[in-house]
């Protein structure tokens, strides 16, 4: 019995041709070795990195503008007389 007949008799779908599994992600461009899943991971990584950068900027600004002058480490230039 051939593979196709066996699969149909068992109620299975036809075998994938072309060697590509369904769980493999398609490439963005055929000549570029980057898949859609890798593109999405890169986008998520850059978004997360952006938010980390924004948080670090706010933290440093609070140190420079509030904590440092309150502790007497320095005086901001716009508050000097």
Tally the domains of the chain.
Answer: 1
18 within some domain: no
- Whether the pTM exceeds 0.75: the reply is no
The Cβ of residue 5 has, within 10 Å, a number of other Cβ atoms equal to: 9
15 within some domain: no
Name the β-bridge partners of 18.
Answer: none
* Pick from 26-30, 39-43, 48-52: least confident: 26-30
- Rounded to whole angstroms, the Cα distance separating 15 from 43 reads 34
Tell me which residue range forms the domain holding 71.
26-76
Start-to-end CA distance of the chain, whole Å, equals 96
56 within some domain: yes
HEC per residue, 13-34 = CCCCCCCCCCCCCCECCCCCCC
7 within some domain: no
49 within some domain: yes
Name the β-bridge partners of 35.
Answer: 27
Residue 26 predicted with pLDDT over 90: no
């Amino acid at each position: 019995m051939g593979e196709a007949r066996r699969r149909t008799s068992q109620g299975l779908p036809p075998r994938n041709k072309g060697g590509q599994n369904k769980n493999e992600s398609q490439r963005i461009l055929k000549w570029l070795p980057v898949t859609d899943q890798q593109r999405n991971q890169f986008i998520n990584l850059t978004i997360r990195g952006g938010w980390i950068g924004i948080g670090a900027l706010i933290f440093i600004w609070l140190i420079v503008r509030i904590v440092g002058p309150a502790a007497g480490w320095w005086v901001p230039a716009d508050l000097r007389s």
